Every structure is written in C-alpha cells, then in structure tokens.
C-alpha cells in the first residue's frame, strides 16, 4: 500500500538532547513538509522541500534541521536549540511543486522531559 510513514509514534527525550523524527513516503511525491501542532492550535510549517537536495524554511524553522538526500525520505532533527520541543509533529507529501492536496503521516508525539 502506498502511503507516508512516520516513526516512532511516541518519543521521549531528555532536555538538551537532539532527536531525529523519521518520515518516509512511497507515493513518488516530489514535495514533502513538516508541521508542528500544539494543543488547541493549528498547524505551523517548520520546513518544506520541493525537490531532492533542496529545502526551505517555513514559519518556525528555528531549532530544527532537515535533510532531503532521497526523494522518499525527509527526516526532521529537533535540536537542543528548540526552546519548547514538546509537540505533535506531522509529516506530509504532495505530488509536485504545484500546490495540490497533501497526504499526511500518523504523526509523532515528542515529549521532552
């Protein structure tokens, strides 16, 4: 089945540690996105990538980093510079640079203690 997979579903880390969230898609989509969702708030765009080896900052990129070495993979690293990393993180992909509907993963809930 085609889809977008995020792992793990739940992640716990100690404050000050970097952590990497995985996102893989087998939909052959060019564009991939990372969003952050906090309780009672909408989605805020962290980073997005329209093509391999290229990505752009979204609205809240500080404290995060990404890579896009392969078309199907777009991992997100939450660094120790991110002040409030505890949140629900959503990865998405869409078919091309044209803005079409996005397909979402199931999300990763990160808790930093």
Partner 1 sequence: GDSVTQMEGPVTLSEEAFLTINCTYTATGYPSLFWYVQYPGEGLQLLLKATKADDKGSNKGFEATYRKETTSFHLEKGSVQVSDSAVYFCALGDQGAQKLVFGQGTRLTINP
Q: Which residues bind partner 1 (CB under 8 A)?
A: 6, 31, 33, 35, 41-43, 45, 48, 50, 58, 90, 92, 94, 97-107, 109
* Nearer Cβ to partner 1 (17/106): 106
CB of 80 to partner 1, least distance (A): 27
Please state, in angstroms and rounded to a whole number, the distance separating the CA atoms of residues 64 and 23.
15
* Nearer Cβ to partner 1 (18/75): 75
CB of 101 to partner 1, least distance (A): 5
Tokens of 55: 């990505």
Q: In the chain, what is the straight-line distance between the N-terminal and C-terminal CA atoms, in Å?
A: 36
Question: Where does residue 40 rank: exposed (0-12), middle (13-18), buried (19+ CB within 10 A)?
Answer: exposed
């Amino acid at each position: 089945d085609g889809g977008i997979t995020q792992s793990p579903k739940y992640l716990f880390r100690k404050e000050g540690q970097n952590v990497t969230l995985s996102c893989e898609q087998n939909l052959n989509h060019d564009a991939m996105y990372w969003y952050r969702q906090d309780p009672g708030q909408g989605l805020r765009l962290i980073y997005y990538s329209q093509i391999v080896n290229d990505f752009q900052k979204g609205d809240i990129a500080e404290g995060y980093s990404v890579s896009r070495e392969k078309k199907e993979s777009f991992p997100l690293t939450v660094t120790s510079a991110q002040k409030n990393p505890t949140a629900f993180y959503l990865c998405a992909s869409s078919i091309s640079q044209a803005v079409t509907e996005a397909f979402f993963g199931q999300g990763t809930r990160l808790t930093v203690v």
